[in-house]
Amino acid sequence: MVGANIVSSERPRRLRLGMVGGGNDAFIGAVHRTAARIDDHFTLLAGALSSTPSRSRESGEALGLDRVYDDYKQMAIREARLKAGVEVVAIVTPNDSHYPIAREFLRRGIHVICDKPLTSTLDDANKLLKTVNNNKAIFVLSHNYTCYPLIRQAREMVTSGYLGQIRVVQVEYVQDWLTEVVNNKQAEWRTDPMRSGEGGAIGDIGTHAYNLVRFVTGLKVEQVSADLQAFVVGRLLDDNAHVMLRFEDGVRGMLWASQVAPGNENGLRLRVYGDKGGIEWAQEEPNLMWYTPYGCSTRKITRNCAETLEAANRLSRIPPGHPEGYLEGFANLYSEAAAAIRAFDRGEKVPLSVTYPTVQDGLDGMRFISACVKSSRGNSRWVKID
């Protein structure tokens, strides 16, 4: 076995973590918990795991939590008073509750790791931004895909000029699980405007794609022209979204988000082209990236190989050929959060190498959703993202 550079999971003290949402049958809650464990920076101690108190208690017991609360407000108040209360809370509830929940913790100096998209309304998003700015705590948004090592590699390559002047960006996030009417809990709130907000696929997964593009290229999207559809009869939010993008500096792009494309499981795929080269990456095979210097053969860059850069390698645990996946990518988000929180708590600046999606990124995503919906309602006219 080749020498490895597993992310050093050994740290002086684990951060005390709480969780709001994520009760027994929730998907993303369990993902957050696993991600928090992988690199051993956190101990989950307390939670308000469901808005139904009995379910919260049941779930908390099952998880062996020290302290289980009936509601998040109570939790924020009490934890803040405890000497060894939680230092950071993961919010894994539907979008419409992100802002009120985050507010309670942030104003008490408890750091927040919040599920995406930021909120269900632009108004809430703006308020949350202010709340973060007015309080002394770290806020991390779970755009987990930015934490895949090869996405860091892509970003570093763009920044360092490997692709030359960027010209064209193609991004898509394609699933098929809403091809028909679905009645489970996951589907229910994600297709409900009251809880999800005005975006369906464009909000749930389109913002991931948008965020990924922004993260990798560093380019601002100035305008969007969107055509959103709800194909399934009775669905109130879009389940398929076509968007043309105009970036700063004349860069052009397309974004496709869909939850009704049979054969696609979790098809987030990014392609970036400049005048000196192109790259291609897909989430379902996250351990490799295709890189073509213009005029040369395409290179298969594998995670943690001899040709990857430090920005990618620092988030890599094991040697190439030993696949890391979605949970490790998500764990990287938690490890970045831990690094940021620790620096913050020491009164230091977050190291430059540490990067995580911020409330500003979340607001940017909300503006993107809003602009897309506006454009689509305006017969796809170009709408500025301000």
Extract the tokens encoding 341. 């929180």
Between 10 and 386, name the residue whose CB sits nearer to a second copy. Answer: 10
Cα 213 to Cα 206: distance, rounded to the nearest angstrom = 11
CB 65 within 8 A of CB 37: no
Among 194, 321, 353, 384, binds a second copy (CB under 8 A): 321
d(C-alpha 61, C-alpha 64), whole Å: 5
Binding residue count for a second copy, defined by CB under 8 A: 107
At closest approach, how far in Å is the CB of 262 from a second copy?
4
CA distance 110 to 99: 14
**Closer residue to a second copy in complex, CB, 123/284:** 284
Binders of a second copy in range 28-57 (CB under 8 A): 28, 30-31, 33-34, 37-40
Select from 6-14, 94-102, 106-114, 214-222 the region that touches a second copy (CB under 8 A).
Answer: 6-14
Q: How far is 19 from 2, CA to CA, in rounded Å?
A: 38
Separation CA 286–CA 353 (nearest Å): 21
Binding piece for a second copy, criterion CB under 8 A, among 59-67, 106-114, 212-220, 360-368: 59-67
Round to whole Å and give the CA distance between 57 and 304.
Answer: 42
Contact 286, 328 (CB under 8 A): no
Write each residue from 279 to 318 as x if it is in contact with a second copy (CB under 8 A), else as -, in one continuous string: xx--xxxxx--xxxxxxxxxxxxx--xxx---------xx
CB of 186 to a second copy, least distance (A): 5
Spatial distance between the Cα atoms of 278 and 207, rounded to a whole number of angstroms: 23
Segment (H or E) for 281: strand 277-282
Give whichever of 131 and 200 is closer to a second copy, judged by the CB atom: 200
Q: Per-residue string for binding with a second copy, 227-266, x by CB under 8 A?
A: x-x-x--------x-x-x-x---x-xxx-x-x-xxxxxxx
Residue type for 319, please? P
Per CB under 8 A, contacts with a second copy among 108-167 are 163, 167
Which CB atom, from 109 or from 321, has the smaller least distance to a second copy? 321
Q: Which of residues 180-219 bind a second copy (CB under 8 A)?
A: 180, 184-187, 190, 204
